[in-house]
Structure 1
Amino acid sequence: MKILVIDDDDAVLNYIREILRHDGFNVLTTDNGSTAFEKLARNCDVTAVITDIIMPEEEGIEIIKKIKSEHPHIKIVAISGGGKMSPQSYLQLAYAVGADATLRKPFGHKELLNTLQNL
């Protein structure tokens, strides 16, 4: 399974990448939505995307909408630690626009892997 991870926080990006690689996943990463779509265009075998909701260049909600519109077969896991609203509010909005699953930061190794297995 090839997974694209989108998060503007390097620590979170590295954490997720290491967990997934350790468990045998092929992982692509990027820190913003624009390069995410470039990577998706070059890697048509991506089966899942993990995206943060709150990011400076392009919000995760817009990324989810666009992926679901252009690549409806790709499963999406939205992640959030909150911001101006509670993390749960952002994650509910992510579900409403097409996310297949959500995780509230911080999350653990097992929680991430269980979420991916249940997609």
Structure 2
Amino acid sequence: MARVLIIDDDELFRGFLRQALTRAGHDTVEAEDGEEGLARFRSQKMDVVITDIILPGKTGLEAIAEMKMEVPDVKIIAITGGDLAMPKGYVAFKFSKPIYPKPLISAVESLCA
């Protein structure tokens, strides 16, 4: 079982991810923007972070950069609405919307193996 932080400003999408991950036996924590995500990341040990890249306020890329500075080996899955380029090594997996639960759950589990 992994502890997964989900950062996304779409409440329905967060709920979809939470439900899929919970059914697969994982524990989830949610945040609706980069600032809240960083606060939760700093206050609780997370095995994996799933973050949207386009967020209000602090973007997903900005949040990832801060997480990587604090915990260089943090395991991150990025979700984009398009094909955004990211620095090499920033994320372990990148998914574009729409997301299907099975590949996402497989990615989380491979990161925790």
TM-score (norm. length: structure 1) = 0.85
1:107 corresponds in structure 2 to: 99
CA-based RMSD: 1.3
Runs of 4+ in 1 over 2 A off after TM superposition: none
Offset at residue 36 of structure 1 (A): 1.3
- Percent identical pairs in the alignment equals 29
Offset at residue 97 of structure 1 (A): 6.2
C-alpha separation in 1, matches of 2:54 and 2:24 = 27
Q: Which has the higher helix share?
A: 1
In 2, are the aligned partners of 1:64 and 1:97 still within 8 Å (CA)?
A: no
1:84 corresponds in structure 2 to: none
Q: Kindly provide the amino acid, as one letter, of the partner of residue 37 in structure 1.
A: L
2:77 corresponds in structure 1 to: 77
1:56 corresponds in structure 2 to: 56
Offset at residue 71 of structure 1 (A): 1.4
Offset at residue 31 of structure 1 (A): 0.2
- Alignment partner of 1:118: what SS? helix
Offset at residue 73 of structure 1 (A): 2.7
Matches within 5 A, 1:27-42: 27-42=28-43
Deviations 1:13-49 (A, max 9, x none): 1100000011110100010111112112221x21110
Task: Select which of 107, 110, 113 maps to 1:118.
Answer: 110
In structure 1, list runs of 5 or more residues that go unmatched.
82-86
TM-score (norm. length: structure 2) = 0.90
Higher relative contact order (CA 8 A, sep 6+): 2
C-alpha separation in 2, matches of 1:72 and 1:2 = 18
1:4 corresponds in structure 2 to: 5
C-alpha separation in 2, matches of 1:38 and 1:47 = 15
What is the total number of aligned residue pairs between the two structures? 110
In structure 2, list runs of 5 or more residues that go unmatched.
none
